[in-house]
Amino acid sequence: MEYRKDYFAETQTQDLTEVGVTRQRSDALGHVTGKTQYYADRQFAGLLHLKMVRSPHHHARIKSIDVAKALKVPGVVRILTAKDVPQNIYTILCLIQVEPNDEPVLAFDKVRFKGEQIVAVLAESEAAARDAAAKVKIVYEVLPAVFDVEEALKPGAPLVNEYHGRNYFTYEGHHCRRVRHGDVERAFAKADHVVEEMYQSSPIEHAPTETTGCIVVPDQNDRYTCYSNTQALYFTLDNTALILNSPFHKLRLVGGTVGGGFGGKVDVITEPIAFLAAMLTKRPVKYEYSREEEMQVSSPRAAERIYIKDGLMKDGRITARKVTLYVDAGAYSRHSPYGTTKAAAHMPGPYTIPNVWVDCHCVYTNRTPSSAMRGFGVTIGDFALEVQMDKLARLIGMDPMEFRILNAYRDGDMKAHQKQVEGAALVECVQAAADLARWPIDDRSKTASSLKREV
């Protein structure tokens, strides 16, 4: 890795001693000696193991749940169903007033995705918990399911989530998060070229080498400590207290050392039910996702479908960009309404385009709920935007680097979401990458700067 100190040289300061220099990671010695303590690197006497009974159907009504046979499996201590959860319906972002609560901790009337958790089995050993989970008998009435975001929005599509009453999240009365800047239709009418393309991604798993999990331990004084690999201790604590109707001060979260997160450990799934299990049994409880659960049940990065329609002039200026984006939230909100707004804010990419129209839809389907992942609301948008940019540059025979530099935002430009650009540096990144790859660009592009727009 090398520095290009010639860019923004006037802003460089030399008087720093502890930052700006490489220091050995404080955790490196622990990592190479195996001494780093992750949440599961602890032993507790009397530890109970929690295994979930999960939905085999994408969408079904639960007719009955029979745990009698499961309770007879040697080593089974207790079995939890929705009736045991004080406030069974929640949504993670209720903490920032995202409504409505739309997800059960344990499903009871319906399951809305394959793998949804319904019954929690607590046993002395993992094997006993697994055996008992297999003996829980649930009768389902299978319902029609919907898996495509645009199908889900059509009239007559199966209703995924009754708490929303429709298959999309409502943003202050709007059926999507919108951004409006200028007049795209007028600009399309005047453009030399109008290009409309569709982009699509499939769900992606975080795949941390350490799966999601926690251990909850009853302490003295009727308090409970949870050793967790959550990425956000207070999200977990506050949501758990609300779900369990518990005073906040009874709960304690300990963590901070995580075997990979990438956004997958921001959800609050394993902790509330493990806390509840520890409270009801007064014993330590471990709930750890298997690799299969991590792959297919934990929230993935959402699949997105993105339509981009651009107005382009022969000289390379993009005069209009219309984006219609669908986030496949799966069956429940989790962080998707937020990520959808983040996706809207990211449009039209790091370019100054005078006319922008954005509709970002957060759509419910009968698949594993999606949630945050590295580049939440941005990564797939960037794929679509930058492939589109390549197509536009080729269409008018312009070098793709020069095309980016021409349209790149500069300090003081107005973004589509009505914020002035500050601290821009896209032009310089393109110039430096061109240098590094020995990709020739014209003099005008070489001398361009993020600090001002050349006339």
* Locus of tokens 């962080």: 335
d(CA 146, CA 291): 26
Q: Choose between 191 and 232: whose C-beta lies nearer to other proteins.
A: 232
Alpha-carbon span 95 to 268, nearest angstrom: 12
Starting at the earlier edge strand, list the strands of the sheet with 110-111. Answer: 110-111, 60-66, 137-142
For other proteins, give the closer residue by CB, 138 or 372: 372
Q: Assess contact for 193 and 312: CB atoms under 8 A.
A: yes
Choose between 13 and 64: whose C-beta lies nearer to other proteins. 13
Q: In terms of CB distance, is 114 or 164 closer to other proteins?
A: 114
Q: Return the number of the residue (120 or 416) whose C-beta is nearest other proteins.
A: 416
Which lies closer to other proteins via its Cβ, residue 88 or residue 177? 177
Tell me how far apart the alpha carbons of residues 143 and 215 are, in angstroms, rounded to a whole number: 36
Decide if 426 contacts 350 (C-beta within 8 A). Answer: yes
Q: What letter represents residue 273's amino acid? A: I
In 3-state terms, what secondary structure has residue 450? coil
Q: How far is 34 from 117, CA to CA, in rounded Å?
A: 34
87-90, Cβ contacts within 8 angstroms, sequence gap of 24 or more? 87/242, 87/243, 87/244, 87/245, 88/243, 89/163, 90/239, 90/242, 90/243, 90/272
Cα dihedral across residues 377, 379, 384, 388: positive or negative: positive
d(CA 409, CA 352) in angstroms, rounded, equals: 5
Residue 363 DSSP SS3: strand
Q: Closer CB to other proteins, residue 67 or residue 251?
A: 251
Minimum CB distance to other proteins smaller for 43 or for 64: 43
Q: Which residue has the tokens 């990520």?
A: 339
CB contact at 8 A, 346 and 378: yes
34 Cβ partners below 8 Å, 6+ apart?
none
**Which residue, 277 or 380, is less far from other proteins as judged by CB?**
380
Nearer to other proteins, 26 or 64 (CB): 26
Looking at beta carbons only, is 104 or 375 nearer to other proteins?
Answer: 375
Those residues with Cβ within 8 angstroms of residue 303's Cβ, 6 or more apart along the chain or in another chain: 149, 200, 201, 202, 203, 328, 370
Q: DSSP letters of 108-126?
A: -SEE-STT-EEEEEEESSH
Q: Which residues have CB under 8 Å from 323's CB, separation 6+?
A: 306, 307, 308, 309, 347, 348, 356, 357, 358, 359, 360
Minimum Å distance from CB 136 to other proteins? 21
Shortest reach from residue 83's CB to other proteins, in Å: 29
Closest CA to 223 of 244, 207, 209, 208: 244
The nearest distance, CB 45 to other proteins, in angstroms, is 12
Amino acid at 72: K
Residue 315 has a CB neighbour count (10 Å cut-off) of 9
Contacts of 3 (CB under 8 A, 6+ apart): none
